[in-house]
Structure 1
């Protein structure tokens, strides 16, 4: 069955940048899609598909891959030494007083 469609997304906030277009005459389907990769390149896949050759794709890239320099490692400071609290004083009951007489 013949068809044709296309869509594209470019969202600067999230960094999503991709598109896809495809069409078919009922026998052969062809199209392409592209996506911005995390390394800064754009991957482009151009394809055809039919019942005789199957799915045939050509993959190309635009741009140069770039990787940020790794951040220097700074180990966390050592924990403060533990000093237990001083022992509680021993319990000394108050001296017993003589019962009061009524």
Structure 2
């Protein structure tokens, strides 16, 4: 009977030690990031910025849409209310009357980035 009780104690201790720690309770670190890309030649225009105090996140991103409008999404997120976004558009959608082949650009010679 003594051997069975000792074995039971060892099993309970081993199971407790094997349980992984919760990765989400490690304490979030505040951060900030931002970037933007604007290339008038290629028609590229987009960006994103975000701030976090470790619990709440607030940010926005924008993109130039193919129809000519600029879309901006402002958002907040936390563990209680989730992700909440507000989407806005600037400008009027433009649609061409005639369609043609896609615009492509040939790479310049030289074998590398310039």
Scaled by the length of structure 2, the TM-score of the pair is: 0.60
Q: Deviations over 1:18-49 (max 9, x none)?
A: 01000000110000000000000000000001
Alignment counterpart, residue 3 of structure 1, candidates 21, 31, 39? 31
Task: Determine the structure 2 residue equivalent to 1:31.
Answer: 59
**Which is helix-richer, 1 or 2?**
2
Runs (5+) with no aligned partner, structure 2: 1-28, 100-114
Moved over 6 A (4+): none
Runs (5+) with no aligned partner, structure 1: 72-102
* CA distance, structure 1, for counterparts of residue 92 and residue 49 of structure 2: 24
For 1:52, what is the secondary structure of its paired residue?
coil
**Which is strand-richer, 1 or 2?**
1
In the TM superposition, what are the counterparts of 1:20-59 in structure 2 within 5 Å?
A: 20-59=48-87
Q: Deviations over 1:55-82 (max 9, x none)?
A: 11010100011111025xxxxxxxxxxx
For 1:66, what is the secondary structure of its paired residue?
coil
Aligned length: 71
State the structure with more CA Rg. 1
Matched, 1:16 2:58: no
